[in-house]
Structure 1
Amino acid sequence: MKGFSEKIETVQEYYFSAKLREVNQMIADGKPVINLGIGSPDLAPDPKVIEALKNTAENPRAHGYQSYQGIPELRIAYAEFYAREYGVSLQPDKEILPLMGSKEGIMHVSMTFLNPGDEVLIPNPGYPTYASVTNLLGAKPVYYTIDLNRKGRPDFESLEQTDLSKVKLMWINYPHMPTGAQGSEEILKELVDFAKKHDIVLISDNPYSHILTDAPRSILSISGAEEVAMELNSLSKTFNMPGWRVGMLAGRADWLQKVLKVKSNMDSGMFLGLQKGAIAALGLGKTWFEDLDDLYKNRRKLVWKLADKLGLKYEQDSAGLFVWCQVPEGKTAEEIVDNLLYEKNIFITPGKIFGSEGNNYVRISLCMPEFKILEAINRIKP
Structure 2
Amino acid sequence: MITPAHRLQSVQEYYFSRKLKEVQALVAQGHPVINMGIGSPDLPPHPSVQQALVEALALPKAHEYQSYQGIPELRAGMRRFYETQFNLAPDVPVDFLPLMGSKEGILHIAMAFLNPGDQVMLPNPGYPTYASVTELVEAEAVYYDLQPEQDWVPDFAALEALDLSKVKMIFIGYPHMPTGAPGSLQLLQQWVDFARKHQLLLVNDNPYSFVLHHNPISIFNCQGA
Q: Same fold (TM over 0.5)?
A: yes
* Structure 1 residue 61, shift from structure 2 partner: 3.1
Specify the SS of the correspondent of 1:35.
coil
CA distance in 1, matches of 2:58, 2:114: 42
Q: CA deviation at 1:22?
A: 4.5
Q: Is the 1:72–1:93 Cα contact (8 Å) retained in structure 2?
A: no
For the aligned residue pairs, the C-alpha RMSD in angstroms reads 2.3
C-alpha spacing 1:93/1:60, structure 2 compared with 1 (3 Å): farther
Residue 93 of structure 1 and its aligned partner are, at CA, apart by 10
Alpha-carbon deviation of 1:38? 2.3
- 1:159 partnered with 2:139: no
Asked if the contact 2:172/2:203 (under 8 Å) is kept, the reply is yes
* Residue number in structure 2 paired with 1:37: 37
Distance 1:28 1:51 in 2: 38
- When residues 208 and 27 of structure 1 are mapped into structure 2, their CA distance, relative to the original with a 3 A threshold, is same
* Offset at residue 58 of structure 1 (A): 3.0
Alignment of 1:64-213 (within 5 A): 64-89=64-89, 95-213=95-213
Structure 2-normalised TM-score? 0.91
Q: Deviations over 1:87-118 (max 9, x none)?
A: 22467997111111122100011011000010
Instruction: In structure 2, give the amino acid aligned to 1:110.
Output: A
Matches within 5 A, 1:185-334: 185-225=185-225
For 2:48 and 2:91, locate their aligned partners in 1 and report how far apart those are by CA, in whole Å: 26
Secondary structure of the residue aligned to 2:143 is strand
Q: Deviations over 1:259-306 (max 9, x none)?
A: xxxxxxxxxxxxxxxxxxxxxxxxxxxxxxxxxxxxxxxxxxxxxxxx
Question: CA 1:94 to 1:176, structure 2 compared with 1: closer, same or farther past 3 Å?
Answer: closer
The residue type paired with residue 201 of structure 2 is V
Matched residue type, 1:127 = Y
The change in CA–CA distance for 1:220 and 1:35 in structure 2 (over 3 A counts) is same
Alpha-carbon deviation of 1:12?
1.6
For the Cα contact (< 8 Å) 1:69–1:97, is it kept in 2?
Answer: yes
Supply the distance in 1 between the matched residues of 2:91 and 2:59 (Cα, whole angstroms).
Answer: 30
Look up the SS of the partner of 2:182 in the other structure: coil
Contact between 1:188 and 1:219, CA under 8 Å: does it hold in 2? yes
Structure 2 partner of 1:55: 55
Aligned mates of 2:90, 2:114 — CA distance in 1: 26
Secondary structure at 1:7 match in 2: helix
What letter corresponds to residue 156 of structure 2 in structure 1?
A: F
Indicate conservation of the 8 Å contact 1:151/1:182, yes or no.
no
More strand by share: 1
Which is richer in helix? 1
CA separation of 1:77 and 1:162: change in aligned 2, threshold 3 A = same
CA contact (8 A) 2:130 2:171 kept: yes
Deviation at 1:182, TM superposition (A): 0.9
Measured against aligned partners, the alpha-carbon deviations of 1:32-61 in whole angstroms (never above 9, x if no partner) come to: 643232222222223222222111013353
CA 149–44 in structure 1, closer or farther in 2 if over 3 Å, else same:
farther
In structure 2, distance between residues paired with 1:200 and 1:22:
38
Give 1:19 shift.
3.0
- Which letter maps to 2:132? S
Instruction: After TM superposition, give the deviation of residue 124 of structure 1 in Å.
Output: 0.3
How far is 1:74 from its partner?
0.7
| Aligned mates of 1:220, 1:121 — CA distance in 2 | 21
Q: What percentage of aligned pairs have identical amino acids?
A: 55
| Separation (CA, whole Å) in 2 of partners of 1:26 and 1:49 | 36
State the 1:125 CA deviation.
Answer: 0.3
Q: Distance in 2 between matches of 1:80 and 1:197?
A: 31
Q: TM-score, normalised by structure 1?
A: 0.55
- The answer to whether the 8 Å contact 1:152/1:182 transfers is no
- Offset from partner CA, 1:171-220 (integer Å, 9 cap, x none): 01000000011111111111111001100000000000101213211111
CA distance in 1, matches of 2:192, 2:85: 20
| Unmatched tracts of structure 1, length 5 or more | 226-382
How many angstroms apart in 1 are the aligned matches of 2:94 and 2:150?
36
CA pair 59-18 structure 1, distance change in 2 beyond 3 A: same
- Distance in 2 (CA, whole Å) between partners of 1:70 and 1:91 is 21
Q: Is this contact kept in 1: 2:123–2:171, CA < 8 A?
A: yes
